[in-house]
Chain A
Amino acid sequence: MTSSERFLQTKSFRPDYPTVGGAKDERGADGRLRLHETVLDGIRDRPRIGKRLSIVAQQMAALGRSTIVKGCSDPVNRGWRRTPLGGHHGMHYYLWWSPQGTRQTRKFKSLERNSILVRAIRHHDDHSPLNVGRLMDYYKLDWLDIDGDSEGCFDTPWTDTQQLFALEDKPVRLVYGYPGSGKTAALWRAVEARSSGRTLYLSWSRSLIEHARARFNAFAPADSVVDARDFSTFLGELCGADVRRQALAASRKAFLDAYAWWKISDHLGPWRNRMDALHAELRAVLFGCAVPGMFECDHDDAKLSDPAYLGGGVSSVGPTAGTHVLDLVRRSGWRGWYEDVFPELASAKRALALLSEGRLPDALSRFDRIVVDEVQDLTLLEAAVVAQYCRVLALKRNHAPWLLLAFDDGQTVRPSGFHSGRLNRLLTDWLTAPEEFNLEHNVRSPGPIARVVERASVLYAVIRKGARPVDQHSRRMESEGASAVDARLIYTEIENKEEVRNLLAGLADVHDVAMVTPEANVPNWVPPESRSAILTPEEAKGLEYSSVCVLDLGPVLARLRRSVDEQDPLVIHERRTAIDRLRVALSRATENLVLIDVDPDDRSRQLCMELLGSAERFTSGDLLELFEDADYPPDERIFTRTSDARRLADVSLERAWERALQALRLLQGAGGRALVEDESVQAEVCLTVLGVASLRLVEEGTDRATREAVVSTAEAVTEAWGSPDQLNAVRELALWTANRVRPPLDLLQAGLKLDKSDRAWLDAALAGAQQALRQAIERCPENLALAHRFAGDVERMLEITGFMGDADSEARRLRQVAVDTLADAAEFTTAGEILARVESPQPRQLAIVSEGLGRHAQAARAFEKAGMQQPAFRNWRKAGQFEKALPYAKGKAKADLQWMIRAEKLMQRRPDDIQNRLTAAERKRLEAAKRMPARRRQHPVPVRGGRKGPRRARNRHGGGRAV
């Protein structure tokens, strides 16, 4: 490290002062919510729901809906949405609201698009008819009313620790906490509390990024820029090449395929029957911790060196398993499969190498604040990319950016090897010691469910301290937000396979009930027809359901207890991962948590009941009856599926597609005509199908038949409920993804016709191909057949490709290339049209195009500006401007010009009215004297070395054009 780097590390951080209670700027959330006057009375009467209401209002202002939405099944109130607000001793109160376009709000023609009418706070039993009332009875809220500050209508949704984290001035800050403790909200608050900066917000989760974009569009200060990117896009930007997005399951499959090829099963040792764990160890540790400067690495820094891996305290699998890892890797010729199995790590390694050389794309060099959410999903190598990025930014800008990170190392379902101590060391060594904040309040899970998660966290206690997540056993649970909401804990036993089959089939059809396995994969006992309905913890992470059924937890708990005395590091390692998965599975429920035990023994039953505390015992029949009794309207069922589809897209596009199709079937009904007339529901389904379909087209190498099915479904949905522009965009996307050699300009122009809010699905899909798109665009202006397209809105085209830099400058550069291409082909008319869109065009280009268009005076002036004398002279003469041409003239041309100037001057000095005094002979003689001889016919002479002047202007089709 150079002395300047060391200096910058220690001295260049500036305090991160927030603009608390800053200027009353306008924000995207302004005016979206309209609050009925009776709602304010409802808040006054029920003070305990104020915080929850505030959270819900913020969700609605950002996303257009709350994360939990229920409908109304009775025909009178159909169209109203309901969101639970909690209350005393049970789920007492609901917020009743309705977006623009529903049965209730359709009559208000003046209601703006995407507006929401918040009508009432009602007791959960109150289903009496609710009239929407008059529009004038609703108050329009601006962001200050709902951002939780004292002058707003609602209570602050922030806990003290969240506020402390957000408003602290330490430059590097870490926030960690339970699932549902509000880490993400704390990060958002920190970003929104500061104006006039540029923030880069990163996470591996695309659904979180989509959510964050909506949030910042609504609440970020107008004078600030917040760019939310998923980590793959960030790496792609650093490397200048798209990162292949591969779900964990696909990575595991690639690993198993490679393993089958190696034929080295005799050398697996303790890893026999633990192929997923071996895959995780390689990803998380051997390759994922290969950070030069922290650990000794070899083979171009792609992997840890053998001594570093075995002796550096990085791996927790112990020496025997570790030695086998190294042996297996060596025997398998890892270089042959590394990029295929771990493309994201290969990209991170490239990015780190480029950053270490100080190479940083301009587009990424303008950020003041870097925010990373879900850091536990990042390997150390990926976290090092962020830290190194901050260092390079510090060197380029002479002050370091602020860095805010959030993690929960108890949710490392993605094998990242995340270790808070290692992250701390990385930040301290490379940047500065971070300030840590522990969020202890649960603002999402209802109290009883949160307590179950807390009891599961106690299982970490048997793991040695270095191998367990930080501070998971001592968290205090306090009643905050949703924890005031009541919940049911249910235990169900199933005795035989037939009962299993019936229960799983029954639950698969029930609305808002998720079946989650606590294992890494769907257990073998699950019948084939139900397997697709079961979520793994990795798939379920980030999702919320009213009811969650955790399958066959007893054996998992028994296994976790049984291994307490074992000292095998590999077993301890597996146990830690198993507890992480368990906590993720348990914390997905918002109302009902059900443990379904299959043919349990006494021990298993006892462990489940201990975990639940006090639980109701249901038979499988009771359970089906409980859920089937719930009368959910179609729109609520649809919303749950569209929400699932969006989140599942991160882990399994096939699963996401299934959910999107379920939503579509619910919307269509049996007759093919929409069952739900609510336009906002129809739009939601349309956008979800489009979103998943487009992701499949861009990211999956699906077979032709699947591809055609996806495209035709997307087209049908768009024809029914979308716009012609959306349909066009789908078709163009299908064409481009089928043949990526095809220039993407048609696709981008189709995207341009969509409003930004209608285009989110396309933007999200194209995020995985941003670099490819930009490289393709780069080539287009050099292509004569395409150059004319740069007369269009290039800036917005770049926006669709996720261009992070100065789009105006980039568009200008591309247009200049297009102008050169067209000018070389003498297509000056089109070149002129493009040049007209360039602010302060290059004088050389302006001159060439002007000359081509026969605007010689303009051309001559531009040539002069460009310092090109000869062409300037030529054009001044062609413009008939003797005087201006004279300074550049030599020889005969000079004499000619001088003579013409003199002649003109003499003619100007003509005596007044001489024409009336001339005799006929004088006139005749004068005319004879003035007469110039006829021009001698010139024969074309071939010019060596190409043409001297511009060619005659042609149109794009090659035809001649009169200039």
Chain B
Amino acid sequence: MADLRELYQQTILEHNRSPRNFKKLATANRTAEGDNPLCGDHITLYVRLDGDVIGEIGFQGAGCAISQASASLMTQAVQGKTSAAAEALFHQFHDMVAGGPDAPADPKTLGKLAAFAGVREFPARVKCANLSWHTLHAALQSQASVTTE
């Protein structure tokens, strides 16, 4: 049996309660909407790209603890990264939560994002964890919206 504490780690519960970068960016030059129609999770992502670097990032939204904490931790993880580095991180994160081939052998190499390693045991919740990352991908590609269906 999968352990609930593996899914709902303290980091996740804490970021769900007090999400970081939970704000609309007046200076954003990229925004995207992300929806998980199955669950009703929703986020709006605001990105200020300075050249190819994510200068500042914020989000607003509502949804389950996994989706909201994932958005919060993602904004911290990608701030200051180039879009290519952020996409590479998405790839690793995705494989970690979905059990893909490129999952890092040791989730700890992903820093705080390792808190989502337990999602792998809960296939129904993978989309919740990935929503913010898909939305970031859309924003970086200048797409207005994305759904996880």
Question: Do A and B associate with each other?
Answer: no
